[in-house]
Structure 1
Amino acid sequence: MYKWEIKPAQIEDLETAAISSLSERALNTPFVATKQWIQDSTGKNFTYVGVNWPGAADVMIPEGLQYASIASIVSKVKSLKMNVVRLTFAIEMIDNIKDNGGDVTIQNAFNKALGTTNGPKTYQQVIKNNPQFNEKTTRLQVFDAVAAELDKQGIYIHLDNHMSKGAWCCGSGDGNTWFGDTYFNANNWKRGLQYMVDHGKSWPNLVSIGLRNEFRSGAKNGLPYNWATWYDQVISAMDLVYKANSNLLIFLSGLDYDTKLEPIATGADLGSGKKFLLSNFKYANKLVLELHNYQNDATDCGSMESGLWNNGFRATGTKAANMMPVVLTEFGFSQAGNDYTKTYATCIKKLMPQWKTGWTVWVLSGSYYIRSGTQDYEETWGLLNHDWSAWRNTAAISALQGMIDASLKG
């Protein structure tokens, strides 16, 4: 029988190749916030340039797996030279783990969300594309698999608590608006954040977490909707998250669907004599602000610029009372037509590199397992097409690539 023998020189070549491969995807963590900059562990400025991958809807696993493998989806993100994925999750998943004897299997999750006819069909499609999963695989294990593939391809993770109850976000009557709303139990929220950041210690590419997606008014019951309440609840959540995982950046969102953060940037009175001042926090170098913007009907970039600046990006200015990084974690528009040529899209494309600030576009998903009761929902805002096989609009992707290149260069 032929004996395959590796010579010493070949071993050296293989070791060199392995080291090279590892170094190419080495992730420089943890990150810190220094004035208006986010910096990696080498001290270099890092700009978030990425996309949102939803995982907080009814099924409560990352979308698209009935159409594609995790590896192929991540490869598409990587092909754009994006460096981060904003991965959303629902607190309900952790409530199940903590209160109901453990996590739900994805098989049961599909049956519950899609019914006993379409649920099993979709589950079979998922395991056909992702054969590493089976009837015992839980939802959190899917998140683990996504994290592992992103790590393998050198992409960082920004976790985002999108909702309490797994569902489409967001509306003023969805029960997830504000502390004490129908599904928004503040204690469960904080417990869920703690659990996820502690679990995330096993993800070497996890660098940050957004405490809550879009605070908004509309709660049927609950605490007063104001900045003083925001301060009390958010600060206590910050403390718990930092204690559970001190490596992570903590992203703070504002009021009115995270479109307003003025008093945080300016250090203004929040009510009851409370002020947000970085000097009050021993972990000030872990705090980042996040804003959302969907001014799709904009006709003037100048007014957009002043609005974004006054609503929160002022924190990146040298005269800010609280000088902090600001990341635009959501913006987006339809990919089905020529919206990428209109004022809103072109203004965002100009401002983000100009301000040398990070961003994550909404949204990767070409479709959803289910959205607002409609199964296999077509997402025309998705960068990918319905079956996640290709870009929905190559011209829009080309324009986005220009923004990516400019942001990374900046």
Structure 2
Amino acid sequence: MEPMLAEGLHKKPLKDIVAKVVQLKFNCVRLTWATYMFTRFSENIVSQTFDILNLAQAKQGIAQNNPALLNMTHVQAFEAVVDELGRQGLMVVLDSHVSSPKWCCSDGDGNGFFGDADFDLSEWQLGLFIVAMHFRSKSQVVGISIRNEMRGRCQTEAKLRKIGTRLNYAIDLSFLKNQGLGTNLDDKLVFESHWYSWSVQAGTCFDNTKVVYDHYLFLQDEVDEQFPLFLSEFGYDQRVIASSDSFINCFLSAAYKYEFSWSLWALQGSYYRRDSQIRL
């Protein structure tokens, strides 16, 4: 997130990357953005940011594969990606991932919940408004995720003050059983959650699925009022391959039974910069 540019553009031309996504039979891309990219850094130039972050090798790769992007602002480059996705027939979900452009997520990263150092309510709302207005005419943009993985100390305190509900890294929507939102946004409301192998460790697949059902899959199973559910992230620790088959088989079984939409986090194979480390 620090470079505020879609990953991989130093490796391949943008149109080739999008063509690969199409070839892999995906129909939609969840494209992340930082609030500050639109509210504070909208006029910053891509090449200048890469210089500041000491990303000389990545900048050279972009110059070879996507030279026009280097002289664009971050917002223009972001829009160029959205436009290419649309040209090749892909839908786009614009994901409000963080406020300050940095790797996500931890309890203390300042991006977790209202009141955190980098989570000002008014600026978050302004960012959503700017993005919604900027992309409203693009038919490929089918939705906006209003915030990724609410979490942290302020989230817990809000629960204790009875002014909010703990969402715990997007894995718990159980409060909706007793406390509805009071609106479905003219049938445009979709709930979003995540399922990782380490987020639910109840034992068997049956037990894990029951926990996940109680947290959010019940939204797909309501008789009177069923809500669309989008699992925008799922997976397991790829450094521990032994756990992969059991998790994936369990996930696919639940996906078949409850028919929720899902996306893969993440498709790229490397990062320009992650947690202040270059070329991960």
Note the C-alpha offset of 1:345: 1.3
Note the C-alpha offset of 1:340: 7.7
TM-score (norm 2): 0.91
> 1:369 and 2:251 equivalent?
no
Residue 105 of structure 2 is matched in structure 1 by: 170
Question: Alpha carbons of 1:301 and 1:122: their partners in 2 closer, same or farther (altered >3 Å)?
Answer: same
Q: Return the alpha-carbon distance in structure 2 between the equivalents of residues 315 and 146 of structure 1.
A: 32
Residue 83 of structure 2 is matched in structure 1 by: 148
Note the C-alpha offset of 1:81: 1.0
Note the C-alpha offset of 1:338: 4.2
Q: What amino acid maps onto 2:159 in structure 1? A: N
What does 1:76-225 correspond to in 2, within 5 Å?
76-97=20-41, 102-112=42-52, 114-115=53-54, 119-135=55-71, 137-219=72-154, 224-225=157-158
Question: Alpha carbons of 1:126 and 1:229: their partners in 2 closer, same or farther (altered >3 Å)?
Answer: farther
Note the C-alpha offset of 1:352: 0.8
- Partner-residue secondary structure (3-state), 2:163: helix
Note the C-alpha offset of 1:230: 3.6
Residue 159 of structure 2 is matched in structure 1 by: 226
Residue 5 of structure 2 is matched in structure 1 by: 61
Residue 308 of structure 1 is matched in structure 2 by: 212
Q: What amino acid maps onto 2:279 in structure 1? A: D
Q: Return the alpha-carbon distance in structure 2 between the equivalents of residues 341 and 138 of structure 1.
A: 40
Question: Alpha carbons of 1:211 and 1:229: their partners in 2 closer, same or farther (altered >3 Å)?
Answer: farther
Q: Return the alpha-carbon distance in structure 2 between the equivalents of residues 214 and 282 of structure 1.
A: 21
What does 1:194-343 correspond to in 2, within 5 Å?
194-219=129-154, 224-226=157-159, 228-230=162-164, 255-264=167-176, 266=177, 268=178, 275-277=179-181, 280-281=182-183, 283-296=185-198, 298=201, 299-319=203-223, 322-334=225-237, 338=241, 341-343=244-246
- 4+ aligned runs moved over 3 Å, structure 1: 227-231, 296-299, 334-341
Note the C-alpha offset of 1:158: 0.6
User: Is this contact kept in 2: 1:106–1:139, CA < 8 A?
Assistant: yes
Q: Return the alpha-carbon distance in structure 2 between the equivalents of residues 148 and 340 of structure 1.
A: 38
- Partner-residue secondary structure (3-state), 1:285: coil
Residue 53 of structure 1 is matched in structure 2 by: none
Q: Among the aligned pairs, what percent are the same residue?
A: 30
Q: Return the alpha-carbon distance in structure 2 between the equivalents of residues 194 and 82 of structure 1.
A: 28
Among candidates 64, 70, 74, match of residue 14 of structure 2: 70
Note the C-alpha offset of 1:335: 5.1
Q: What amino acid maps onto 2:230 in structure 1? A: V
Note the C-alpha offset of 1:225: 2.4
Q: Return the alpha-carbon distance in structure 1 between the equivalents of residues 186 and 218 of structure 2.
A: 17
User: Is this contact kept in 1: 2:106–2:152, CA < 8 A?
Assistant: no
Q: What amino acid maps onto 1:345 in structure 2? A: I
Residue 248 of structure 1 is matched in structure 2 by: none
Unmatched tracts of structure 1, length 5 or more: 1-56, 232-253, 269-274, 378-410
Q: What amino acid maps onto 1:104 in structure 2? A: N
TM-score (norm 1): 0.63
- Partner-residue secondary structure (3-state), 2:214: helix
What does 1:35-46 correspond to in 2, within 5 Å?
none
Q: Deviations over 1:30-63 (max 9, x none)?
A: xxxxxxxxxxxxxxxxxxxxxxxxxxx1111111
**Structure showing greater Rg:** 1
Q: Return the alpha-carbon distance in structure 1 between the equivalents of residues 67 and 191 of structure 2.
A: 39
User: Is this contact kept in 2: 1:332–1:363, CA < 8 A?
Assistant: no
User: Is this contact kept in 1: 2:63–2:70, CA < 8 A?
Assistant: yes
Unmatched tracts of structure 2, length 5 or more: none
Number of paired residues? Answer: 277
Q: Return the alpha-carbon distance in structure 2 between the equivalents of residues 70 and 330 of structure 1.
A: 23
Q: What amino acid maps onto 2:63 in structure 1? A: I
User: Is this contact kept in 2: 1:300–1:343, CA < 8 A?
Assistant: no
Q: What amino acid maps onto 2:206 in structure 1? A: G
